[in-house]
Amino acid sequence: MADTSDLFEIMHTTRAMRRLKPDPVPDALIRKILQAGVCAPNGGNTQRWRFLVVKDPRIKQQVQVHYKRAFDEVIGPRYLTSAPPPGVTREAYMRQHAAVQYLTDHFHEAPVWIVACIEEAAAPTRWSGASIYPAVQNMLLAARALGLGATLTTRHLLYEKETEAALGLPSGVHSYAILPIGYPMGKFGPVGRGPLADIVYEDRWGHPYKGL
């Protein structure tokens, strides 16, 4: 379980946990995470979200092939040529890169995946994510509160057709994220972010917000 029940402490320490133990996670905990997900807002309360819980190693291995291909071709080279993001040192950025590499190689070993989807007849639009990503964030916070590690990854979408076929998604259902979930190997801690003063404006774009 989490070492705190304070919501703000949970939010401030919900790191992307990419190194996960292969130990089984009880269904009762996954159910709590899913229940937290469906408490989230969604467009018109239409509740078009759908969640696929994946435990089958064969399915995960099929998806991991494309997940690793996306790392080798896109994600890995991007890390090696990009500057660290705001609030992150070069050393921390390299540790993050190593953790991303670890997740790539062990993605299929995470005991549980939650694939967050939307059932929609039309092609996804710019606002489609508003009906699924709040649920994803709720599930990440719930996992943290339960002492479970998780991360939001969309890399499989670089090979969307192949991975959604491997997941067995029917026509009219689109995946938006995969959350690998398990007991973390490392510890939770503060997230690395830049200062609010660099990104928050008041009334006019570029005008500093006086409330900071």
CATH code for the domain in which residue 107 is found: 3.40.109.10
Q: Report how many domains make up the chain.
A: 1
Q: Hunting for tokens 């479970």 — which residue is that?
A: 148
Pick from 66, 45, 13: which is nearest to 178 by CA? 66
**164-178 confidence digits (pLDDT tens):** 999 999 999 999 999
**102-155 confidence digits (pLDDT tens):** 999 999 999 999 999 999 877 788 889 999 999 999 999 999 999 999 999 999
Distances (CA, A) of 8 to 5, 12, 14, 145, 189: 9, 6, 10, 11, 13
**6-50 confidence digits (pLDDT tens):** 999 999 999 999 999 999 999 999 999 999 999 999 999 999 999
**80-90 confidence digits (pLDDT tens):** 788 888 888 88
Asked, for residue 181, whether it belongs to a domain, the answer is yes
> Which residue range(s) make up the domain with 112?
7-198
| Average pLDDT score, the chain | 93
Look at residue 4 in the predicted model and tell me its pLDDT: 62
Look at residue 78 in the predicted model and tell me its pLDDT: 83
Asked, for residue 2, whether it belongs to a domain, the answer is no
Asked, for residue 14, whether it belongs to a domain, the answer is yes
Q: Hunting for tokens 């991975």 — which residue is that?
A: 163
List the structure tokens of 97.
């890169």
Q: Hunting for tokens 């304070």 — which residue is that?
A: 6
Asked, for residue 210, whether it belongs to a domain, the answer is no
Phi-psi domain of 168 (left: phi exceeds 0; alpha: psi -120 through 50; beta: other): left
Identify the DSSP state of 20: B
Distances (CA, A) of 112 to 20, 107, 144, 155, 167: 10, 10, 15, 17, 13
